[in-house]
Amino acid sequence: MDLENQKRIKDLTEEHNPEDIVVLLGAAEGEASGIAAETVTNGDPTFAGPLTGVSLGLNVYHVCEEEVKADYDPEVYEEQVSMMEMVLDIDEIAEEMKAIREEFSKYSA
């Protein structure tokens, strides 16, 4: 996750109740999703950004996870995500995201 997005998320948690914030990721690989998820839950694992040492514990999901897919407009999902979903390893991504939530999230969605 780039430094600008880290700052945006940090600012949002200072402005709003962190319990009410859900971060949606769209990385194409489980590992990349996991790093971004760890950044917004446990702090920047690269020790390079504004979230270094900042454990926000935010709720974090990937756009292709079943837990959040039901909340989308089906037409929008079809147009924006469904083509990529065919080439992604959804199970790997979902496992990575679940592991990060179980270990670092402070809030339940």
What pLDDT, on the 0 to 100 scale, is given for residue 95?
96
Dihedral of the alpha carbons of 93, 25, 41, 69, in degrees to the nearest 10: -70
Q: How confident is the model at residue 11 (pLDDT cuts 50, 70, 90)?
A: very high
What pLDDT, on the 0 to 100 scale, is given for residue 108?
81
Residues 50-91 pLDDT 10s: 999 999 999 999 999 999 998 999 999 999 999 999 999 999
Q: What is the pTM of this model?
A: 0.91
Distance (Å) of CA 16 to CA 13, 57, 85, 106: 5, 14, 31, 15
Residues 23-59 pLDDT 10s: 999 999 999 999 999 999 999 999 999 999 999 999 9
Q: Where are the domains of the chain?
A: 3-104
